[in-house]
Amino acid sequence: MAATRACQFLVGSSVMSTSGNSGRDRGVSLSQRMAMSTEQISSAAATTTTSFVEKGMSSEKKKQRRKEENELISNVYWNLDEMTEENRKKLKDYFEECKDLIRSDGGPPRWFSPLECASHTADSPLLLFLPGIDGTGLGLIRHHHKLGKIFDMWCLHIPVKDRTSFADLVKLVERTVRSECERSPDRPIYLVGESLGGCIALDVAARNPDIDLVLMLANPATSFNRSQLQSLIPLLELMPDQLLLNLPYMLNLVSGDPLRMALENVVKRLLPLQTVGVLSSQDLLGMPQVLADMLPRETLLWKLQLLKSASASANSHLHAVKVQAMILCSGKDQLLPSQEEAQRLRSMLPKSAIRLFEESGHFLFLEDDVDLVTTIKCSRFYRRGKYLDYVSDYIPPTPYEFMKICESNRWVIAATSPVMLSTLEDGKVVRGLAGIPSEGPVLYVGYHMLLGFELAPMVIQFLMERNILVRGIAHPMMFFRLREGNMLDLAAFDTFRLMGAVPVSGPNFYKLLSSKSHVLLYPGGMREALHRKGEEYKLFWPERSEFVRMASRFGAKIVPFGVVGEDDVGELMKPAFPSSF
């Protein structure tokens, strides 16, 4: 085990000083790196090395220097300006591919695997997507690329003219689940069900308590008997066949405004509002026809009757569902009372959690602002085995996810202007994190400022400047709802989980060190972050520091660091806000 000299991290007009075993002697400021392109970095690094550094250096040091510069250029997190949104398909692609499926439709329900989902690893869990009322199986089209990297993904397609009963659909999915469980008994099977598919997933889980299933239910149709859709059934049964009415127009009749155009209703009720603006007028004009082909009158009537039987069956079996479940509900679902239903399901399913998307409509997965993979990662809902391993099952953030994290913490960085210093092996103090050890395991031990505001700038800077993902040891309340009542929503801690935090425990600490991770530990914990007046810079560490013994077992480098400045800013604000202190 190697211990480094103490370090200081100042927030505000503040500094962090760390010492380590790395030979790096460069300190690049955040503002400089954000203003330069990759090509500029390459040329600047080469010029500086030739003019100032390589003179008098040994060949080994020159090689090491070039290696470090290449590492900086290859760091996908270092330049926020070059981070763009992931390549996701658009709403237009959904309708185009639906056309192709409808055109050649026929036969019984069947599985297909999207071409974009061929890059998963051998140990990836299986994901079965169960569609909603559309039946195409393309509801996750905007998420195929990212899902295909971490799941073996299959989608269920129910042809337009198919009249398979709900019970037979459940049996079809159940046969697939049992077959795949026998083939790979140690990997979980994810059932992602939308609307009708949510009812299928619940029934399959109730009938197969011995299989390791994970449910993700998006606006499940278990609330069908309390929705306006139920009123459409008698209306459709009385309607003459000659009237070519599709779902958008029928919803207008039920809502009491029959004079609205079907196109307007498609835009306002069925489609994500923020995505409509990017479509051309030709695309918008073609939407009602695609929906009419997807749900002609006789198919729409059948699907509504299917929803009715599905809701009744799923509700009668809820007591038997004991598997892990996540309920994704939309705050502006105009087809089903999804928000109220999510609360009801949560009270009935013992291992369930809710994710609310306040601005989303019924077709949640077609929304611009909904990223299913990011939601899974933030919720720590992804596992490859029977039990969640916070270390091995962790998936690092993508560059775009990291950019969004930086944007959400921009005000903290702007308000505190953090400055970080580190100490090299020769004792020289440099600006930046050049003195931080590159190779793990490394244990960073420090103390909290008020509310832990130093945490985000520190972790962000480590990843941007050194491509080091620091895994924090965090309070269990960030991962589990410890009790009912006025507790913070777990979604408030999404950033911590996405950046790799793990619940504090001996086994998790052991696994992090054994995997040669860079681990961040605050022995003072939450009490230190919530210190009271007069307790500035006071340590609340336990008398026995067991982490030293664990670190020594793995030969970890211990980097103690200090944080200064934030509490001093609070002192400066007292005269301006005396009643707050």
User: Domains in the chain and their CATH numbers?
Assistant: 91-227+298-379 (3.40.50.1820), 399-574 (no CATH)
Q: Any idea which of 61-75, 265-279, 292-306 has the lowest mean pLDDT?
A: 265-279
pLDDT score, position 102: 80
Q: What is the pLDDT of residue 121?
A: 84
Instruction: Please check the confidence at residue 60 and state whether its pLDDT lies above 90.
Output: no
Whether the per-residue pLDDT at 12 is higher than 50: the answer is: no
Looking at residue 393, its pLDDT comes to 96
d(CA 224, CA 230): 7
When pLDDT is averaged across residues 474-503 and rounded to a whole number, the result is 82
71-82 confidence digits (pLDDT tens): 555 677 877 777
Higher-confidence position of 394 and 531: 394
Question: What does the DSSP 8-state code read for residue 77?
Answer: T
- Which structure tokens are listed for 160? 């337009």
The yes-or-no verdict on residue 478 having pLDDT over 80 is: yes
Q: Could you tell me the pLDDT band of residue 17, with boundaries at 50, 70 and 90?
A: very low
Letter string b/e over residues 76-90, b meaning 16 or more CB atoms within 10 A of that residue's CB: ebbbbeebeeeeebb
Q: What is the pLDDT of residue 157?
A: 94
pLDDT tier for residue 240 given thresholds of 50, 70 and 90: low
Over residues 349-397, the pLDDT tens digits come to 999 999 999 989 888 999 888 999 999 999 999 999 999 999 999 999 9
- What would the DSSP string read from start to end of 366-389? G-TT--HHHHHHHTT---SSSS--
Indicate the average pLDDT of the chain.
78
Higher pLDDT, 78 or 187: 187
Q: State the DSSP H helix or E strand holding residue 329, giving kind and residue range, or none if neither.
A: strand 324-330
| The pLDDT of residue 288 | 58
38-52, 309-323, 444-458, range with greatest mean pLDDT:
309-323
> 426 vs 28, which has greater pLDDT?
426
Which residues neighbour 566 within 8 Å (Cβ) at sequence distance 6 or greater?
11, 12, 14, 416, 449, 450, 453, 454
Q: 20 is written with which tokens?
A: 């380590």
Q: What is the pLDDT of residue 374?
A: 95
Give whichever of 99-108, 292-301, 375-384 has the largest mean pLDDT. 375-384
Element holding 404 (H helix, E strand) = helix 399-408
Q: Is the pLDDT of residue 62 over 60?
A: no
The whole-number pLDDT of residue 136 equals 92
Q: Which of 62-76, 88-102, 549-563 has the lowest mean pLDDT?
A: 62-76
Whether residue 408 is predicted with pLDDT greater than 80 in this model: the reply is yes
Cα separation, 538 vs 522, in Å, equals 13
Rounded distance, CA 576 to CA 581, Å? Answer: 10
Q: What is the tens place of the pLDDT at every residue in 109-137?
A: 999 999 888 778 888 999 999 999 899 99
Residue that wins the pLDDT comparison between 67 and 525? 525
d(CA 393, CA 512): 12
Give CA–CA dist 158/236, Å, rounded: 21
- Over 80: is that where the pLDDT of 159 sits? yes
Of residues 258 and 337, the one with the higher pLDDT is 337
Lowest mean pLDDT among 61-70, 255-264, 365-374, 571-580: 255-264
- Residue 9 and residue 454 in contact, taking contact as beta carbons nearer than 8 Å: yes
Torsion angle, CA of 462/468/472/478, rounded to 10 degrees?
90
Q: Left, alpha or beta for 521 (phi > 0: left; psi -120 to 50: alpha)?
A: beta
Query: Tokens standing for 433?
Result: 């994190």
**pLDDT, tens digit, 9 for 90 and up, residues 79-94:** 777 767 777 888 888 8
Q: Which of 82-86, 101-105, 253-257 has the lowest mean pLDDT?
A: 253-257
> What does the block give as tokens for 224?
């069908």
Q: How far lies 366's CA from each of 89, 100, 242, 525, 560, in Å?
A: 10, 18, 32, 41, 47
Listed in sequence order, the residues at least 6 apart from 538 whose beta carbon sits closer than 8 Å to its beta carbon are 528, 531
**Per-residue pLDDT for 242 more than 60?**
no
Q: Is the peptide bond before 441 cis (omega within 30 degrees of 0)?
A: yes
What's residue 471's pLDDT? Answer: 95
Q: Reduced to 3 states, what is the DSSP secondary structure of residue 282?
A: helix
Considering only 73-82, 444-453, 517-526, which range has the smallest mean pLDDT?
73-82
| Per-residue pLDDT, 530 | 72
Query: Predicted confidence band at 461 (pLDDT cuts at 50, 70, 90)?
Result: very high
Residue 59 banded pLDDT, cuts 50, 70, 90: low
pLDDT at residue 513 greater than cutoff 80: yes
Q: Which of 35-39, 153-157, 174-178, 202-206 has the lowest mean pLDDT?
A: 35-39
Q: Count CB atoms within 10 A of the CB of residue 13.
A: 13
* Whole-number pLDDT of residue 336: 92
In this structure, the strands spanning 126-130 and 110-112 are unpaired
Q: What is the pLDDT of residue 185?
A: 93
Residue 254: pLDDT over 50? no
Q: Given this model, what pLDDT does residue 236 score?
A: 72
